[in-house]
Structure 1
Amino acid sequence: MRNIQKITIGIVIVTLIILVWYHFRANTKTYTITPDNFRFMNIDDSSKGGLSSSAIKFKEGKAYITCEVVKNSDYPWPYCELEISLSDNVFQGIDFSEYNKISLDIDYTTSHPNKRLRVYIRNSHPAYTRADERTSLKFNGIEYSPGFGDGKKAINLDTFQVLTWWIADNNIDIEHASTDFSNVPIIEIATASGVTEGSFEIIVNSIEFQGVWIKESTMLKILLYTWLLLIIGFILYEQSKLHQRLRKSHQRAAKLFKLNQRLTEKNVKFSELANRDPLTGALNRNAVQDWLKEMSQQVRWDKQDFSALFIDIDNFKHVNDRYGHQVGDDILREFVLLISANIRSSDYLVRWGGEEFIVFFPETNSHQAKHRAERIRNIVATHQWCHHNELTCSIGIAQMGDERITEMIARADEALYKAKSNGRNQVISANPVLS
C-alpha cells in the first residue's frame, strides 16, 4: 500500500510538472528562417513588363529590401516582394504542419497609405503542383500591418487562408482547398494588394515558426494511459493481497492499529487533557461539557441543527459472562475505534457509562441522524469482532429542540429503551419537541 501511495504521489507530482511545463514551455519549438541558411531574393513586376524596381542587401543577419513601385498601363498590378527559397526542388519543401504560429519581426516604411504586407506560405503537393508553373504552388496567405519598431508579431497559422483565385484558376478539388503547410518550398513577403505607386522599405529582422514539442491531445493520452496503468496495477496489487491475508489475530491487530491512529488524529484537540475514558480512549462527559453548552446556544439562536445518538451494545452482559471481562474490555475498545472511524471529524463520541455511548452530531437534523445511525448499526452488525461472534447495538435518536441538553439526552435514552424493548438491533427516533 505504501509503495502504491508513493507511486501515486510521484505520478501526481510528475503530472503537475508536465502540465506546468506544457503551459509555459511546450510552445517553444522553433524553426528559424535566416539569410544565412536560405536564399533571400528580391522580385518585382519588371520581369512581367512592369516598371517597378527593387534591391536587396544583407547586414548582421537581416534583409533590407528597397522598392520603387511604378504604375504602368502594360502591367496593372505593380508589386515588390521578398522571396525566400527553402528548397531547390519545389516538390521537396519543409514540413511546418507541426507548427501553429509564425513569428514575424518586420520593420516596414512606405509612402503609400496602404501600410500592409502580404505573407504567402507556398505549399507543394503532387495533386496540384506543376514543376513548370510557379503559380501552381498553393497560396496560404494573410495580409497584416507590421509597423516599424513594433517587434515580433506572432500570427496563428490557422488564420491563413487559401486565395480563392488560386482555387478557381487551378480547378482545385475541395479536399485540397484548405490551408496546408506540410511541404513548403517558398515563403513570400510582398507589398499589399491594390498598391499603385510609392517608395517602400522592408527590413526583415527575423522569421520563426513556433510549435509545440508534443500535441495537447497526445500529452493528455499519455497521462490518461499512465493513470490507467496505475489503477490497473493497484487493482492487481489488491487482488494479490486478498490471497495473502494474515491470520485473523494479526489482521485484527493491524486494523486496531489503523483505527487507533485515526482516533488519535481526530482527538488531537483533547490529547493534553484528562478528558478520556481510560479503558476505551473515548471522550468522557467532562470533555464535552463546554462544547455542549456552545451547541445548545447555537440551536437556541437557530444557527444550526444538533442531534444525538444514544448507543447501547446489545446483550453485552452475556459477552462478559461467556468470554470474560478481558474480552469484554477488548470489545469496548474495538467498538470505540470502529465508531470513531465511521463518523465525521466534527462529530464527538462519548462513553456515557458501561456499554452505553453517545455520538453528538452538529449540523444534523433527526432525518440525517437516522440515516447515519442505520449505517453505524449495520457496520456494527457486520463487523468481524475479536471474539469471532456477531455483535449488535440498539440506537435512540433525538434532535435538540427548545430544551436543555440533559432533556435531549433523556429523550434519546427513551428512544433507546424502545429499540431494546422492540427486539434490539434497531434504530428508534424520539418524538420531536414542540415549540
Structure 2
Amino acid sequence: MNSTSSNILRYALIFLILVSIGVLTWQHFGMERKLRIDANSAHQFIAVDDRTQGGKSVAHLSKVNDAMVMKCKIAKSEYQWPYCQIRIQLTKMPSGMDLSHFDDIDFNLSRSGPGPEKVRVYLNNFEAYSKINDSSTLKVNELLLDTKGADMASSHIPLNLFRVASWWVEYKNIPLIDTDMQVDNVPIIEISTPGFAPEGEHEITFKYIEFHGKWLSLTQVLLGIVSAWLTFGVAWLGFEIFQYRQRLSQERSQRSELEVINRVLEIQAEVLSNQAQIDPLTGALNRAGLNNLLSKKWPGEIPKDAQLSILFADLDHFKRINDTHGHAVGDEVLQQFAQLVKSKIRKSDGFVRWGGEEFLVACPEMPHDLAVKLAENIRDSAEKSSWPHSIAVTCSCGVATRNHGEDFNALIERADIALYRAKKGGRNRVEIG
C-alpha cells in the first residue's frame, strides 16, 4: 500500500472514531423530540360521563386561563362504575398519532374531590378490529396516576408503564394475541376519574401532557455505528486485496509479459466469438446465436419430452427483387421482414437468419397448432404489408413440431422439407412437416 493510500485510510479511521463518539454523545444528551398537548392546543376537548351507559354522573368542561377544568358530580345508579372524563380528540379516526417513538411522558394535571387524588389516563389505539364510529372498540392502554404522590414528582413517567386495561379485554372478549400494548395509532387520549369513584363533587384540572423521546433510539444508533464500522472494515479489506492483486499482477507481468499478452488475445477472441451471434443487417440471431439460446434453455442435450416447434420462412422470388430493384432495396425488404416477424413472436422465441432470405423461428414450449397459427399469421401479414417501392412481397413457411425424443437436426430437416413443399406447391403458403 502506497503512502498516500495509507494516510487516507488512517484519516478515515480517525474520522470514524470521532463520528462514533459524537453520535453517541448526541444521542445521550440531545437528539430530543417532544410532543406537547396542552389546553391551548387545536385538539378537541370533550367532557364525557356515564350517562351514555345509563348512569347519572354529570360532567362539565370549561377553559380557565391555560387549563381545561372538568367539574363532575359522581352519582350512584344502577351503572356499577360511575365516571367522568376529559376526552382529547387528537385526530379523526381511523388515523391516529404514532406515539410509539416516545419513551417518557410528563403530566401537568391535578384532581380534587372525595377519595384518593388519582386519575386514570387512557391512550386509546385504533386497531384492525376497531370501528370508526365506535370509540369503545379502540384498544384501551391504561395508566393509574397519583396526581399528588411520587408519580407526579417524577420528571418523566415511562411510556411502557401503560397496560391494556383488563376490564376492556374482558368486556370486549379480546383474543390473547391482541392484548399487547400498542400506541402507534392513537386518535383519542382520555383523563378519567379513578375506578369506584365516591359520590360527590370531583374536579380534574388539565394543563398539558408532554411526550419525550429520541429521534433515534440507542439501538438504532449502535446499529448504525456497527454498520459503518463493518462497511469501513470491508472497504479496507477490499482495498488491501486490490493493492495485493495489483502488485501480484505487476510481478507476473514482469516475469512473463508475452504469456499475459497471449492470454489477453485469447480472452478477446472468446469475447468477440460470444458477441458475434447477431446478424448485423436484420438484428436476428445467427446460427451460433441459436445454439446459445437453446443451450441456455436446455443445458446439455434437449430432454426427450421437451416441446419445441421450428418454423422456416423464406421470402418468395427474392432474387427477382434484388435483380430488379437492387441490393439496397433487397436489404430494406429483409430488414422490414425481420421487424415484422419479431413483432409476431414471443420474447422466449429465437429468431434466426438462417441464410440469405431464409429465416428460422425456434419456439420452445409451443404446441403444434399454435406454431402453425403463428406461421400463417406471419405469411398473411407479409402479404398484406406495404413494402419499399410498392413491391409485392410474400413468404413461404414450413412448420414442424418435435416428436418425443427426436434429434434437433431431424426436426430442422422436417421443417426444411415442409418449406420446400410450400415453395414447390406455389409459394405464399404454409406446409407442415
Using the size of structure 1 for normalisation, the TM-score is: 0.51
Maintained 8 Å contact 1:107/1:148:
no
SS in structure 1 of the partner of residue 104 of structure 2: strand
> Residue 178 of structure 2: which of 176, 179, 194 is its match?
176
Secondary structure at the counterpart of residue 185 of structure 2: coil
Structure 2 residue identity aligned to 1:193: G
SS of the residue aligned with 1:175? helix
Question: How far apart in 1 are the matches of 2:28 and 2:127?
Answer: 34
Deviating more after overlay: 188-197 vs 32-41? 32-41
The AA in structure 1 aligned to 2:196 is G
1:5-154 equivalences under 5 Å are 5-26=10-31, 28-35=32-39, 36-70=41-75, 72-89=76-93, 91-110=94-113, 112-127=114-129, 129-147=130-148, 153-154=155-156
SS of match in other structure, 1:218? helix
1:47–1:169 CA distance, 2 compared to 1 (3 A): closer
Query: In the alignment, is the contact (CA less than 8 A) between 1:105 and 1:152 conserved in 2?
Result: no
2:213 corresponds to which of 203, 211, 214: 211
Q: Which residue number in structure 2 is paired with residue 196 of structure 1?
A: 198
Residues 106 and 147, structure 1, Cα contact 8 Å, conserved in 2: no
User: Per-residue displacement from partner, 1:207-244 (whole Å, max 9, x unpaired)?
Assistant: 12222211322222211111112212222333344445
| 1:5–1:228 CA distance, 2 compared to 1 (3 A) | same
Q: What do residues 293-317 of structure 1 show as CA deviations (whole Å, max 9, x unaligned)?
A: xxxxxxxxxxxxxxxxxxxxxxxxx
Aligned-partner Cα distance in 1 for 2:37–2:128: 25
Q: Distance in 2 between matches of 1:163 and 1:34?
A: 25
Contact 1:109/1:148 (<8 A) preserved:
no
Q: CA deviation at 1:95?
A: 1.8
Preserved CA contact (<8 Å) 1:52 1:80: yes
* CA distance in 2: counterparts of 1:153 and 1:15, whole angstroms: 29
Asked if the contact 1:82/1:189 (under 8 Å) is kept, the reply is yes
Q: CA-to-partner distance for each residue in 1:87-120, whole Å, 9 max, x for gaps?
A: 232x22222222222321112323x232111011
What is the alpha-carbon distance in structure 2 between the residues aligned to residue 165 and residue 76 of structure 1? 13
Give the secondary structure class of the aligned counterpart of 2:68.
strand
Q: In the TM superposition, what is the alpha-carbon distance from 1:53 to its structure 2 partner? A: 2.6
SS at match of 1:130: coil
Counterpart residue number, 1:357? none
Assess if the C-alpha contact under 8 Å between 1:123 and 1:185 holds in 2.
Answer: yes
Q: Is the 8 A contact 2:115 2:198 kept in 1?
A: no
Cα gap change, 1:86 to 1:233, in 2 (>3 Å): same
Go from structure 1 to structure 2 and tell me whether the alpha carbon gap of 1:48 and 1:169 turns closer, same or farther (over 3 Å shift). closer
After TM superposition, the structure 1 = structure 2 runs for residues 259-298 of structure 1, keeping only pairs within 5 Å, are none
Asked if the contact 2:24/2:221 (under 8 Å) is kept, the reply is: no
SS at 2:73 equivalent: strand
Counterpart of 1:392 in structure 2 is: none
User: Could you tell me the TM-score, scaled by structure 2's length?
Assistant: 0.51
Partner of 2:189, secondary structure, is strand
* CA-CA distance at 1:145 after TM superposition: 0.3
The amino acid that maps onto 2:82 is: P
Partner of 1:225: 227
1:298-340 deviations in whole A, cap 9, x for unaligned? xxxxxxxxxxxxxxxxxxxxxxxxxxxxxxxxxxxxxxxxxxx
Correspondence for 1:323:
none
The one-letter amino acid of 1:96's match is L
C-alpha change, 1:153 and 1:205, in structure 2 (3 Å) is farther
CA distance in 1 between counterparts of 2:228 and 2:78 reads: 67
Conservation of the 8 A alpha-carbon contact between 1:81 and 1:191: yes
Q: Which letter does structure 2 place at the counterpart of 1:22?
A: Q
How much has 1:153 moved relative to structure 2? 5.0
Whether the 8 Å CA contact 1:106–1:152 is kept in 2: the answer is: no
> Unaligned regions of 5+ residues in structure 2, if any?
1-5, 251-433
Contact 1:104 1:152 in 2 (8 A): no
Aligned positions, number = 241
**SS of the counterpart of 1:202?**
strand
| Residue identity opposite 2:16 in structure 1 | I
Q: CA deviation at 1:162?
A: 1.0
Give the Cα–Cα distance (whole angstroms) in 2 for the partners of residues 48 and 184 of structure 1: 23
Per-residue CA deviations over 1:373-414 (Å, capped at 9, x if unaligned) read xxxxxxxxxxxxxxxxxxxxxxxxxxxxxxxxxxxxxxxxxx
Question: SS in structure 1 opposite 2:221?
Answer: helix
Deviation at 1:157, TM superposition (A): 2.1
What SS does the aligned partner of 1:83 have? strand
1:236 to 235, 238, 246: 238
1:41, CA displacement in angstroms?
Answer: 1.1
- Please tell me the residue identity of whatever aligns with 2:26: W
Q: Deviations over 1:5-39 (max 9, x none)?
A: 1111111111111111111223x212222342200
Contact 2:56–2:77 (CA under 8 A) maintained in structure 1: no
Kept in 2, the 8 Å contact 1:106–1:151? The answer is no
* Aligned position for 1:288: none
* Superposed displacement of residue 148, structure 1: 8.6
Equivalent residue runs for 1:238-253 within 5 Å: 238-242=240-244, 243-244=246-247
- Residues 238 and 131 (structure 1), Cα distance of their counterparts in 2 relative to 1, 3 Å cut: closer
Alpha-carbon contact 1:120-1:189 (below 8 Å) kept: yes
